[in-house]
Amino acid sequence: MAYILNRFLSVLLTLFLISVITFAVTNILPGDVAMMIMGTQSNPEALAGLRETLGLNDPLLVQYGRWIGGVLTGDWGQSLVFKEAIGPLIAQKVVASSLIVVMSMAIALIAAIPLGVWAAVHRDRWQDSTSSTAALVGVSLPDFFWGIMLILLFARALGWLPSSGFVHPADDFLGAIRHAFLPSLALGLGLMAHLTRMTRATMIGILGQEFIRVARAKGLTEREVVWGYGLRNAIGPVLTVAGLQIGYLFGSIIVIESLFNFTGMGWLTYQALLNRDIPLIQSTVFVIAAVVMLTNFFVDLLYMAIDPRIRLS
């Protein structure tokens, strides 16, 4: 229980620091919120009045307190570009990005764990060389390259899947999966390569330990030893690394969503940065950071459930 409490307090402290940094950085960015609302040709007196109304003349500490208070109470303000409330706008885009992240993580784990185990069991043989080479290629090539190749093959040449757009799962679940599959695969290929190498290295270490030799000496089949004993002990570190990659996925999702015109959080953040929509930038960055931190927190809980020794540390 103490471990969970300490991790949760660490998450809260990190989110607080991120909120401070985000607010400070966005206030350094060039651009006047009042001028963006009223236009560059507005009356100076009207601009001054709007700045006073919006509280832009207040000290930064007061402005930060007002902003973070609004975030905590659900009043996120209004987007300067989209002319609508930020809270519902972000809620809609989070659904889109979460679909891509979950699918890409599922693709990566489903492929990486068997490949990593396969390479570890056949260490220094052709199976290991093939898996390691494929993983090296996957790690070396950027996500946008895979995205372009997938569009050219599956959307343009074969016409099997759409290359752009977003469909809400509540409206058409299968349609949402079809539209999200290619961007998810583009993200998942690089992650799959990384997790394959991680699984291989962890399994090689586990398979060389004493308790594995004892399990074999008891007459257990190789399948029981590898999957029942080896993978069970290796899966914790692999899942932890996978959870930490959530940040990588949300960082890469800006490029992928722009490439596939998939209107999620990455696309929204890009539009906010492109148009210097300060309130929207603050909110999107904070939400992405919160999602990453909370995901890592729940991965830690999962790791603790898998490996009870963590509770005693």
pLDDT in tens, 283-307: 888 888 888 788 778 777 776 776 6
Residue 31's pLDDT is what? 61
| Residue 162 located in a structural domain | yes
| pLDDT at residue 47 greater than cutoff 70 | no
- pTM value is 0.76
Residue 11's pLDDT is what? 82
| Residue 23 located in a structural domain | no
- What three-state secondary structure class fits 154? helix
| pLDDT at residue 7 greater than cutoff 60 | yes
In 3D space, the residue among 228, 225, 208 whose CA is nearest the CA of residue 216 turns out to be 225
**Cβ atoms within 10 Å, residue 12:** 12
Cα angle, residue 194 at apex, residues 204 and 141 outer, rounded to 5°: 140
Torsion of CA 163, 165, 169, 171, to 10 degrees: -120
pLDDT band, very low/low/confident/very high, at 65 (cuts 50, 70, 90): confident
| Residue 152 located in a structural domain | yes
Q: Considering 42, 75, 108, which residue would you say is the last residue of a domain?
A: 75
| Residue 11 located in a structural domain | no
- Number of domains, the chain: 2
Q: Which structural domain range is residue 288 located in? A: 87-312
181 and 212 inside one domain: yes
pLDDT band, very low/low/confident/very high, at 211 (cuts 50, 70, 90): confident
Mean pLDDT of the chain: 81
59 and 175 inside one domain: no
Tell me what percent of the residues of the chain surpass a pLDDT of 90: 3
292 and 248 inside one domain: yes
Considering only 36-40, 108-112, 250-254, which range has the smallest mean pLDDT? 36-40
164 and 61 inside one domain: no
| Residue 21 located in a structural domain | no
- pLDDT one-digit tens code per residue, 73-100: 888 888 877 888 888 888 888 888 888 9
111 and 256 inside one domain: yes
294 and 246 inside one domain: yes
244 and 270 inside one domain: yes
Residue 248's pLDDT is what? 72
Angstrom distances, CA of residue 164 to CA of 197, 224, 274, 283, 285 = 31, 44, 20, 25, 24
| Residue 19 located in a structural domain | no
Q: Considering 46, 75, 104, which residue would you say is the last residue of a domain?
A: 75
53 and 155 inside one domain: no
CATH no. for residue 174? 1.10.3720.10
Contacts of 112 (CB under 8 A, 6+ apart): 191, 192, 193, 194, 195, 196, 198, 199, 238
| Residue 2 located in a structural domain | no
141 and 218 inside one domain: yes
| pLDDT at residue 118 greater than cutoff 60 | yes
| pLDDT at residue 313 greater than cutoff 60 | no
Residue 38's pLDDT is what? 58
Residue 122's pLDDT is what? 82
| Residue 228 located in a structural domain | yes
131 and 107 inside one domain: yes
pLDDT band, very low/low/confident/very high, at 233 (cuts 50, 70, 90): confident
101 and 243 inside one domain: yes
| pLDDT at residue 128 greater than cutoff 70 | yes
37 and 120 inside one domain: no
| pLDDT at residue 12 greater than cutoff 60 | yes
Cβ–Cβ < 8 Å for 187, 262: no
Q: Considering 48, 75, 102, which residue would you say is the last residue of a domain?
A: 75
Question: Residues for the chain: how many in total?
Answer: 313
| pLDDT at residue 57 greater than cutoff 70 | no
